[in-house]
Structure 1
Amino acid sequence: MTLAARDLRWGVAGRMIVDGVTLNAAPGRILGLIGPNGSGKSSLLRLLCRLRNVAGGVVTLDGRDIAAVPRRELARRLAFVEQQATTEVQLSVCDVVRLGRTPHRAALASWSEADEAAVDQALARVGLQHRHDQLWHTLSGGERQRVHIARALAQEPSELILDEPTNHLDIQHQLAILTLIRKLGITCIVALHDLNLAALFCDEIALMQEGRLLAAGAPDEVLTEETIRSVFGVAVAIRPGVSGRRHIEYLIDVPPFAVVPAASSAA
């Protein structure tokens, strides 16, 4: 295992947000993290990349406690893409992506051809090479998200953690980004809301509920009609899709409310 958590715990104000989670990310595979809002997905991701300090348990990278890994060394291995990121600084697209090269450069080192090539390749991978010199704040929300994915790719990580990377993206770019992630061939942990996208692109799925890991395994094992109804409170029918992965159809139940007739207008 490359990135793993054992009995991970973290909370705030006496409330456990992540409660005893044990998780393993297999090398070169995509682990999807799903669960209702407030289930602890984002907090877990921040613990895995040491943006928050654990209250209990341990996160390991190749068996080594990441708390003992120097931050610069950790940044050469692991990249994190936030759900949303913003800045008031007037940065161009290439400036943002160049930040991904920071862990690979000495403090006073000059910008190299290899650095520039990594930036250009990262922008090309997310289809934004034509935005190279545009100001970041003039981009759409979806384009900003793609720039931050490019920044992470410029780090040339072995492990990539993404918190809702398809937020703000249209369906074309959702599919393009997840296809790109799948083709990277590196260890990825990605939080997703769309269960069909999770079933289509993830090798394994971890399901969280109220801070605990409820289930983990292959999509066919975790994404069952019974589990989805229990955890998400919706009825579904599951069938094989044309891709060979399962497709989840949401069933619209008629709510048990009496129909109130509209009031008639005054004459």
Structure 2
Amino acid sequence: MSISMRNVAWCAGSTMIIDGVSLDVAPGKTLGLLGPNGSGKSSLLRLICRLRQVKSGVIRLGESNISTMARREIAQRIALVEQQATTDADISVKDVVRLGRTPHRGALSPWDRTDEDAVNAALEQVGMAAKALQLWRTLSGGERQRTHIARALAQTPTELLLDEPTNHLDIQHQLELLDLVTTLPITSVIALHDLNLAAMFCDSLAILHGGRVVAAGPPEAVLTEELVLDVFGVRAHIEKSAVHGRHYIQYLTR
């Protein structure tokens, strides 16, 4: 497995936030994390890249326990796009994306062709190449999000973690972004709110509720009308799409 978690737990003070989570993500596949606000999605992403230390349990990248890996080694392998990533510095789009190369360079390493190619490719992938020299403070919310994803891609990760990456994006860019991420030859874990986007783009889903995994597996097996009502408190009708073959959810107001 690319990422595996066994009985992972984490507390904030005396409050259990992640409670005995066990999940696997196969190489090159996309896992969607779903759940109500406060269910533990963001916390689990931070545990995977060791921004937080597990209270108990084990997280592995391949065969390596992340608790024994150097932070630089983890950073060379995992890129995280956080929900509220921002900066107040008056810098260009390209300067933000260049930060993605930091884990691959020593303190005195010169900027080389490999670095430049990785940055330019990342900008092209997210459709921001034409705005590479534009100042960060002039960007829209959606453009800032795409820039941060370009920074992550410039890191050339083998695992990509994204926390609500479609926030601030219009429908067209939501679809384009998820299509891009899920067709990259890397392993992805994406925290999402939109159940239909998750069903459309993710290979598998894990539903978190109260810090626990209450369902995991292929979207068509996980997303049931009973689960949507129990976990999200919404009545829904679920059908299989004749267009893309995935299940889609119609929310019922009565």
TM-score class normalised by the smaller sequence:
over 0.9
Q: CA deviation at 1:135?
A: 1.2
Instruction: Give a deviation string over 1:34-75, Cα, whole Å, max 9, x none.
Output: 000110110011001101111111111112111111111111
Q: CA deviation at 1:13?
A: 2.5
- Give the structure 1 partner of residue 72 of structure 2: 72
User: Given residue 210 of structure 1, which amino acid in structure 2 is its aligned partner?
Assistant: G
Partner of 2:106, secondary structure, is coil
What does 1:132-171 correspond to in 2, within 5 Å? 132-171=132-171
Q: CA deviation at 1:12?
A: 1.4
Structure 1: distance between partners of 2:207 and 2:116: 39
- Give the structure 2 partner of residue 248 of structure 1: 249
User: Given residue 117 of structure 2, which amino acid in structure 1 is its aligned partner?
Assistant: A
TM-score after normalising by structure 1: 0.93
Structure 2: distance between partners of 1:47 and 1:18: 10
1:84 and 1:145 in contact (8 A); partners too: no
Structure 1: distance between partners of 2:100 and 2:207: 30
- Give the structure 2 partner of residue 225 of structure 1: 225
Partner of 1:238, secondary structure, is strand
Structure 1: distance between partners of 2:222 and 2:152: 29
Pick the structure with greater CA Rg: 1
State the Cα RMSD in Å.
0.8
What does 1:49-64 correspond to in 2, within 5 Å? 49-64=49-64
Question: Is the aligned partner of 1:213 residue 2:219?
Answer: no
Range with greater deviation from structure 2 (63-72 or 187-196):
63-72
Structure 2: distance between partners of 1:148 and 1:5: 26
Instruction: Give a deviation string over 1:139-171, Cα, whole Å, max 9, x none.
Output: 111110100000000011111010000011000
User: Given residue 97 of structure 2, which amino acid in structure 1 is its aligned partner?
Assistant: V
Partner of 1:8, secondary structure, is strand
Partner of 2:207, secondary structure, is strand
User: Given residue 171 of structure 1, which amino acid in structure 2 is its aligned partner?
Assistant: I
Using the aligned pairs only, state the percent identity.
60
Q: CA deviation at 1:216?
A: 0.5
Structure 1: unaligned runs, 5 residues or longer: 254-267
- Give the structure 1 partner of residue 15 of structure 2: 15
- Give the structure 2 partner of residue 190 of structure 1: 190
Structure 1: distance between partners of 2:18 and 2:28: 25
Partner of 1:21, secondary structure, is strand
Question: Is the aligned partner of 1:39 residue 2:39?
Answer: yes
Structure 2: distance between partners of 1:62 and 1:183: 21
User: Given residue 216 of structure 1, which amino acid in structure 2 is its aligned partner?
Assistant: A
Range with greater deviation from structure 2 (114-123 or 194-203):
114-123
Instruction: Give a deviation string over 1:83-120, Cα, whole Å, max 9, x none.
Output: 11111221211111001011111221111122111111
Structure 1: distance between partners of 2:168 and 2:69: 34
Question: Is the aligned partner of 1:176 residue 2:185?
Answer: no
TM-score after normalising by structure 2: 0.98
Structure 2: distance between partners of 1:70 and 1:54: 16
1:141 and 1:168 in contact (8 A); partners too: yes
Structure 1: distance between partners of 2:128 and 2:72: 27
Structure 2: distance between partners of 1:88 and 1:120: 23
Question: Is the aligned partner of 1:107 residue 2:135?
Answer: no
1:31 and 1:188 in contact (8 A); partners too: yes
- Segments ≥4 residues shifted beyond 6 Å: none
Structure 1: distance between partners of 2:145 and 2:184: 18
Structure 2: distance between partners of 1:85 and 1:79: 13
1:60 and 1:66 in contact (8 A); partners too: yes
Structure 2: unaligned runs, 5 residues or longer: none
- Give the structure 2 partner of residue 119 of structure 1: 119
